[in-house]
């Protein structure tokens, strides 16, 4: 088959729309997560959590619109949470059942296409992480607190939802917890009220947000306000880490400025950082915030690349989000390349130096990953991150700095708040390129072997 025919066939597969058949999974990478037949337009969560017993009580009010005729509908919800009541619209009790990992709701009358409806679900239980191919994700007890790490399918561990990145909606979250603990939740704090031994914290998240990007942190944290930046920057951490925090995050405001210049305006109203009292193997991004372990502080600045990586996700992954998990290079490859850009534009090694080092590593690693569709087993493989970054560097070498950074800014400006595919990026890149980029995409995205050189493959149409 000719090279262009192979490319056309692969792009068609990547760009193929979600199969509307209810028998098919929303995403083959996570066949048990996500649901057909409706689109959530808003979540309102009212939660009460007792730390000593790890007991969560919740009421979820979910507003949605039917996208096909519905005799029943499914939501994702952990079997460790027990549902006590489901009502539809004006208080009408709805029948429900609990197939594994789901909540099935049957309205008294079928829902027509385009009809808006509101589900109110009361539930309670002892939340725990959801175990899967990538370890445990979701609600997790710390030594003295709580951390929620949802990626990719952990949101169902603490609230009923349509747990898939293509399902974006605003959130309003009210959390009542023991008063010694501070709640840091995705969104802006809009209310706080203490009553006896409990405090209620209320957060508003107006931006369309994927469920995996919503998080809860509970700990005996102190609030640190860092002034002087373009964007309000707030941190929440144990008191004994405050001095180390100022060292480790000394350049966070400068980092925001550099990324704003390179990628466009910071997408949200504020940036929050939580530092847990426990060590964390990897930091975690959420909408408008990131969570780090105390080991990041104790590294004394050695983890600066991770701080850059999580910040970059606010543009790539959080504001602009993949339609399906097979497009994860649009999150991780971009955030990894942002690490290299940070050092380049802040006085350190340029991105090309990093690219050459990791290019050599990839050439000596197994070459069995297709970046445009790595498969669920390998979607968090470090080779996806590094090859994604190298793909962007190859593009930059091919089209030049001015066009490359214009492309990144246009990408965020056009798709902020939306979901994207690899093909969306290829189309936009074509509009910013003076040469045919198909040989580059074939070499870096649609072939498993690592190309022999960085940049446009030699001897192919469009190479230079």
Average pLDDT over residues 272-295: 97
Average pLDDT over residues 151-156: 97
Average pLDDT over residues 320-339: 98
pLDDT value at 459 more than 50:
no
Predicted TM-score of the model (pTM): 0.92
pLDDT reported for residue 458: 62
pLDDT reported for residue 292: 98
* Structure confidence by residue, pLDDT tens digits, 53-89: 999 999 999 999 999 999 999 999 999 999 999 999 9
CATH topology for 38-219 is Immunoglobulin-like (2.60.40)
| Same fold across 3-14+321-444 and 226-314 | no
Looking at domain 226-314, its CATH class is alpha beta
pLDDT reported for residue 23: 64
Q: Which CATH number fits domain 3-14+321-444: 3.30.300.180, 1.10.3720.10, 1.10.390.10, 3.40.190.10?
A: 1.10.390.10
* Structure confidence by residue, pLDDT tens digits, 284-321: 999 999 999 999 999 877 899 999 999 999 999 999 99
* Structure confidence by residue, pLDDT tens digits, 79-117: 999 999 999 997 888 999 999 999 999 999 999 999 999
pLDDT reported for residue 134: 87
Kindly list the domain boundaries of the chain, sorted by start residue.
Answer: 3-14+321-444, 38-219, 226-314
Q: Secondary structure of the chain in the HEC alphabet? A: CCHHHHHHHHHHHHHCCCCCCCCCCCCCCCCCCCCCCEEEEEEEEEEEEECCCCEEEEEEEEEEEECCCECCEEEECCCCEEEEEEEECCCEECEEECCCCEEEEECCCCECCCCEEEEEEEEEECCCCEEECCEEEEEEEECCEEEEECCCCCHHHCCCECCCCCCEEEEEEEEEEECCCEEEECCEEEEEEEECCEEEEEEEEEEEEEHHHCCEEEECCEEEEECCCCCCEEEEECHHHHHHHHHHCCCHHHHHHHHHHHHCCCCCCCEEEEECCCCCCCCEEECCEEEECHHHHHCCCCCHHHHHHHHHCCCECCCEEECCHHHCHHHHHHHHHHHHHHHHHCCCCCHHHHHHHHHHHHHCCCCCCCCCCCCHHHCCCHHHHHHHHHHHHHHHHHHCHHHHHHHHHHHHHHHCCEEECHHHHHHHHHHCCCCCCHHHHHHHCCCCCCCCCCCCCCCCCCCC
pLDDT reported for residue 457: 74
Lowest mean pLDDT among 33-47, 108-122, 347-361, 443-457: 443-457
* Structure confidence by residue, pLDDT tens digits, 178-237: 999 999 999 999 999 999 999 999 999 999 999 999 999 999 999 999 999 999 999 999
pLDDT band at 462 (very low <50, low <70, confident <90, very high): very low
pLDDT band at 456 (very low <50, low <70, confident <90, very high): confident
């Amino acid at each position: 088959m000719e090279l262009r025919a192979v490319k056309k066939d692969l792009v068609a597969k990547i760009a193929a729309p979600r199969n509307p058949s209810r028998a098919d999974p929303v995403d083959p990478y996570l066949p048990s997560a996500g649901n057909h037949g409706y689109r959530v337009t808003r979540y309102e969560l009212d939660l009460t959590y007792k730390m000593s017993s790890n007991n969560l009580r919740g009421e979820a009010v979910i507003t949605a619109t039917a996208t096909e005729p519905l005799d029943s509908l499914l939501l994702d919800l952990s079997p460790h949470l027990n549902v006590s009541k489901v009502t539809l619209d004006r208080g009408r009790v709805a029948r429900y059942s609990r197939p594994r990992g789901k909540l099935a709701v049957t309205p008294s009358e079928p829902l027509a296409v385009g009809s808006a409806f509101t589900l109110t679900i009361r539930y309670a239980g002892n939340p725990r992480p959801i175990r899967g191919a990538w370890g445990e994700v979701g609600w997790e007890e710390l030594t003295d607190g709580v951390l929620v790490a949802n990626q990719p399918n952990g949101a169902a561990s603490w609230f009923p939802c349509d747990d898939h990145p293509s399902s974006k909606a605003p959130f309003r979250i009210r959390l009542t917890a023991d008063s010694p603990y501070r709640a840091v939740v995705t969104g802006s704090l809009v209310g706080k009220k203490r009553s006896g031994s409990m405090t209620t914290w209320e957060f508003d998240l107006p931006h369309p947000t994927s469920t995996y990007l919503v998080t809860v942190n509970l700990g005996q944290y102190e609030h640190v306000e860092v002034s002087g930046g373009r964007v309000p920057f707030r941190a929440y951490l144990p008191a004994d880490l405050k001095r180390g925090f100022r060292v480790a995050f000394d350049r966070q405001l400068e980092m925001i400025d550099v990324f704003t210049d390179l990628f466009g305006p910071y997408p949200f109203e504020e940036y929050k950082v939580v530092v847990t009292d426990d060590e964390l193997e990897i930091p975690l991004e959420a909408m408008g915030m990131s969570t780090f372990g105390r080991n990041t502080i104790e590294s004394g600045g050695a983890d600066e690349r991770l701080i850059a990586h999580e910040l970059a996700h606010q543009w790539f992954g959080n504001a602009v989000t993949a339609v399906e998990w097979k497009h994860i290079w649009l999150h991780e490859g971009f955030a990894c390349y942002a690490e290299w850009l940070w050092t380049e534009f802040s006085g350190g090694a340029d991105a090309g130096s990093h690219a050459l080092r990791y290019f050599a590593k990839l050439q000596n690693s197994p070459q069995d990953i297709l970046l445009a569709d790595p498969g669920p087993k390998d979607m968090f493989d470090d080779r996806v991150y590094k090859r994604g970054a190298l793909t962007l560097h190859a593009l930059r070498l091919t089209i030049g700095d001015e066009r490359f950074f214009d492309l990144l800014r246009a990408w965020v400006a056009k798709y902020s708040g939306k979901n994207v595919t690899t093909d969306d990026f290829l189309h936009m890149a074509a509009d910013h390129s003076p040469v045919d980029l198909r040989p580059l995409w074939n070499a870096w995205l649609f072939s498993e072997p690592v190309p022999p050189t960085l940049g446009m493959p030699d001897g192919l149409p469009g190479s230079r």
